[in-house]
Structure 1
Amino acid sequence: MSADWPVYKVADLEAAKKLLVQDGNHGEYRPRKNEFVENGTAFIRAADLGYGAVKFDAAEKINEVAFKRIRKGVGADFDTILSTKGTVGKIAFVPEGSPRFVCSPQTSFWRSLDHDFIDPKFLYYELQSKHFLNQISSRKGETDMADYLSLTSQRSLNIRVPDLCEQRDIARILGALDEKIELNRQINQTLEQIAQAIFKSWFVDFGPVKAKIEAKASGRDPERAAMCAISGKSEAELDQLTEEQRQQLSATAALFPDELVESELGLVPEGWEVSTFGTIAKNIRAGVDPTSELPETPYVGLEHIERKHIYLTAWGRAEQVDSNKSRFSTGDILFGKLRPYFHKVSYMPFSGICSTDILVVRAMSTEWQGYVQYQLFNERFVEYSNVRSTGTRMPRANWKDMAQYPMAKPSSDLAAIYNKTVINFNDLAALMVQETNNLATLRDTLLPKLLSGEIRIPEAEKLMEATV
């Protein structure tokens, strides 16, 4: 039982070289504004921790000059990251093979230096135990400033270290659930990336059109060239497809013209209308009092939408909020208008309510849904909205400007073909989200019970078998 587990003070474990707790650089060694770059070493803040994972792709990056000046807080695989300022107590695990990163002063890493004494994954779960969280709660308000857990305070905490076999059994059971949750997340990210790549190729770079132009100039078959551009296959690989597959590709290729013409937007496909986003999408403004909703009605706040990921991984309930919200329906796209540069855009697989700092966007007609979804998610669109946002400290995008976003509008037939792909991806992603939600519920049920000794390993394994 957990009551029998040995308890150790963090400072004593550090002295014994069993554990290392370290935060990011303060003062002169901290990265400077001009040292943040698009590609580099991830600089992990509290906002980059979510649902047990470190969001390396969304984190800001520092250049090599800043990294070489860093004196502490350089992370490693198998670390557990803890947020220590503002929002205290967010916890994430760093899996093997993660990108290089450093902790900001808002976060610290907890690292097992002796895996035969403290299993790294068990340490991650122990930091989520009631025993540990109660200690954090009692210390985070010790200053007159915002909640803060200093390194000194962290080293005064206690953790429990049971027998290694028991640690590994607990880590194995909870880890299996987390691994399946992570796999589902990766599947959804892959779907998102494929849909993005198609959108960019067809509607931003005009890849199939350019393929036809190049083929005509070199005396090759324009249609087959476009089919290659659409499918990503070589001409030899096209011949290996079924007749039905080739006919579908040919029908799609026929919808792309073989010329680019001058327009106010520059070169655009011949026959495509120079238009605005507001001709295919609208902003739904339906206010709602959440206290009039069923308690279990899904609620989506900005905190639930991950940066640069279009599929949700978590949400709240109407009973958790009380101020006026906005209503959305299945298939709507939510666009975070507060600080639009955060790039918070999400497809809704269900109906519910959301924060008023989120715009609810809906396609004018069904065939445009997929196009609307990934136009909103497009980097160019987000930047356009951000540049036109108003407010210094809390900039907000507005629908009036977003509706005027200029674009080369394809035919509705081509939009419908793209929409079919996106709808299939959305349906699969919704299944992944639902399964992930069920797995997370099971994990969150088992975690406190395993760490409190309320249930033992064999009983937990039976619960897993019944659910997974």
Structure 2
Amino acid sequence: MAELGELVTFSNGRARPAAGARYRTYGANGVIGTSGEFNAGPRSTVVGRVGSYCGTVHYSPDRCWVTDNAIIATARDGVNPRYVHYLLKRLDLNRYRIGSGQPLLTHAILNGLPVPRLGRAEQDAAASVLGALDDKIEVNGRIAAAGDALVRARYDEAAAVAGAVIAIGELGDLVRRGVPPQRIGRDENYIALEHMPKRHMWLSTWTDASGVTSAKRRFAAGDVLFGKLRPAFHKVGLAFVDGVASSDILVVRAKDADRRGWLLAALASDDVVAHACAVSDGTRMPRARWQDIAAFTVPWPGDGAARAFGGFAAALARRVEAAASESAALAKLRDALLPELIP
């Protein structure tokens, strides 16, 4: 056995990165933006230092900026940098946090953790197998991002030449069916706002409903979920599964399945989100209302063009869904192999 500090050096990130888009910026829970400068070298591991994401672990293959909510972990000479990433994931660092109101990880805690002393060949083998799985997951993530960008671009093109407008409420209905907690199965899929990525129209992450203690909204695969709490976070996406959603989410169902793509693209558009923000109730915790969104008009290219767009969006959604399903299976395999490869 060895102490973690024999394999890894730790340094704190810094606040307020320089403006720019050259490098990714990491906070305690992963990428949060971009920066014009970097303070961590390639193949660094980023560890959540403070707060609710204390102990989370992310890997950056490239130079990046790390904020002061996180710690930069750098492999010492002779240690495989990607192995360090998986070693830190294996340690489940959140259990070593101190403090209750504001959880914290310190360098002293990290440096003293006991870890296995694997040779370089074993490190390389573990990093190669686990890294190959994560690399494929990353490729699938890029497929989803490209699909999102393509739908938005096609929508903008069609909207620019549309000769009419249509109210959102003519394209979709609000699903008002509430479900009390005692009627929600523990194994049902549950989507809350934290499972909805910002400005990304494919909802490929959810959890089970075992922790649900309050009433939720029932949704079905193909429904569009719209985050009504703090709509500026731009959380709008297509559900791939049936399940229940947080009461902070509007569930919108297409009136016509062939027009679902236009409904999705419209609800996820900057114009609709900006309108939802402008008419939201509340200051500290603004909430959008369905009646305001339903009355908002968006460009309408005509029924034929909208249906053709719907077919295009549906084909992309199926490809993204398949990629997301594959990523979930790969992640499950990776997590099963991790304790076998790094005891």
Please give the TM-score of this superposition, normalised by the length of structure 2: 0.91
Match of 1:137 among 91, 95, 99: 95
Residues 78-97 of structure 1: pairs in structure 2 closer than 5 A: 78-87=43-52, 88-95=54-61
Which digits, 9 at most, give the CA deviation of each residue in 1:118-172, with x for residues without a partner? Answer: 111111111111xx22x6423x233x63112234443444443410111111111
The aligned counterpart of 1:162 is: 118
Residues 32-431 of structure 1: pairs in structure 2 closer than 5 A: 39=21, 42-47=24-29, 49=30, 55=31, 59-61=32-34, 74-87=39-52, 88-95=54-61, 98=62, 101-114=64-77, 117-129=78-90, 132-133=91-92, 136-138=94-96, 140-142=97-99, 145-203=101-159, 205-206=160-161, 269-270=162-163, 272=164, 274-431=165-322
Match of 2:16 among 15, 20, 31: 31
The amino acid across from 1:309 in the alignment is H
Distance 1:337 1:166, change over 3 A: same
Q: CA deviation at 1:20?
A: 2.8
Gaps of 5+ in 2: none
The amino acid across from 2:72 in the alignment is F
The amino acid across from 2:71 in the alignment is S
Q: CA deviation at 1:393?
A: 2.5
The amino acid across from 1:44 in the alignment is Y
Q: Which has the higher helix share?
A: 1
Match of 2:3 among 3, 8, 15: 8
Q: CA deviation at 1:43?
A: 3.7
Please give the TM-score of this superposition, normalised by the length of structure 1: 0.68
Which digits, 9 at most, give the CA deviation of each residue in 1:60-116, with x for residues without a partner? Answer: 445x5xx5xxxxx81222111111111212211112xx4x532222111111142xx
The amino acid across from 1:281 in the alignment is G
Aligned counterparts of 1:9 and 1:367: Cα–Cα separation in 2: 56
Which digits, 9 at most, give the CA deviation of each residue in 1:396-423, with x for residues without a partner? Answer: 2221221122323221111000000011
8 Å contact kept, 1:340–1:386 = yes
The amino acid across from 1:406 in the alignment is T
Aligned counterparts of 2:168 and 2:178: Cα–Cα separation in 1: 23
Q: CA deviation at 1:276?
A: 2.2
Distance 1:443 1:40, change over 3 A: closer
Which digits, 9 at most, give the CA deviation of each residue in 1:422-451, with x for residues without a partner? Answer: 111111111112111111111111112332
Q: CA deviation at 1:314?
A: 2.4
8 Å contact kept, 1:311–1:346 = yes
The aligned counterpart of 1:438 is: 329
Q: Identify which of structures 1 and 2 has the higher relative contact order when contacts are C-alpha pairs closer than 8 Å and 6+ apart.
A: 2
8 Å contact kept, 1:290–1:318 = no
The amino acid across from 2:84 in the alignment is L
Aligned counterparts of 1:196 and 1:450: Cα–Cα separation in 2: 42
- Percent identical pairs in the alignment equals 27
The amino acid across from 1:358 in the alignment is I
Task: Count how many residue pairs are aligned between Structure 1 and Structure 2.
Answer: 342
Q: Which has the higher strand share?
A: 2
Distance 1:23 1:441, change over 3 A: same
Distance 1:38 1:298, change over 3 A: farther
